[in-house]
Amino acid sequence: MWLFTGVIKKLYINLSDLKEVGARKQVELELEFHNFEFANREIEIKDPIELELEIFNTTDSYVVEGEIKAKLILSCSRCLQEYNSTINLDLTENVVKNEMEDQEELYLDEIIMDNIILSLPMKPLCSEDCNGICPQCGQDLNKGECDCEVEILDPRLAKLKDFYDEEQ
């Protein structure tokens, strides 16, 4: 579940000029979008989101196709540092008319947020070779080594270590 943090504004596109079935409309927008939280992660939107959309009126729905471009600030899951992430998403949404609040207004808030959330990596990384932090002292290992002696032992093999210690 997502949670808004900040001012909520209803972002919508006027559809009053799409009354006939088969009509289409092209829209290009830059939107100031609010930051939000998802799965205990803060999702910060750095710059205005760019939208290039084409909206088609069908018998039962509006089909929205296009692209979303956004610059996000995410937190690395290894070193916990913030980093910039650019996303370019292809968007295809089918908005059913009888589920809409007002059939002359297409609200974009939820469509944008859902697509951004679906594009987020499970474990965001500032870089593929991020070294993370020391589990003992908390030193950012990307900035330098620490003096801790960390023995990395697979817990599944811990009993074997005990076995070899007893033999010696």
The CA distance from 58 to 18, in Å, is 10
User: Which residues of the chain carry a pLDDT beneath 50?
Assistant: 1-9
Q: Say if residue 69 is in the same domain as residue 105.
A: yes
Report residue 118 CA to chain centroid gap. 6
Query: Can you give the pLDDT at residue 150?
Result: 65
> In terms of residue numbers, what domain contains 157?
131-168
Query: Can you give the pLDDT at residue 144?
Result: 87
Query: Can you give the pLDDT at residue 1?
Result: 33
The CA distance from 5 to 79, in Å, is 24
User: Looking at the 3D structure of the chain, how many domains does it have?
Assistant: 2
Give 74's Cβ-side CA count (13 Å radius).
23
Q: Say if residue 70 is in the same domain as residue 92.
A: yes
Query: Can you give the pLDDT at residue 5?
Result: 34
Distances (CA, A) of 115 to 10, 144, 163: 17, 37, 51
Q: Say if residue 34 is in the same domain as residue 112.
A: yes
Q: Say if residue 36 is in the same domain as residue 92.
A: yes
pTM confidence score: 0.72
Q: Say if residue 94 is in the same domain as residue 135.
A: no
pLDDT (tens digit, 9 = 90+) per residue, 125-164? 999 999 999 888 888 889 988 888 766 677 787 777 777 6
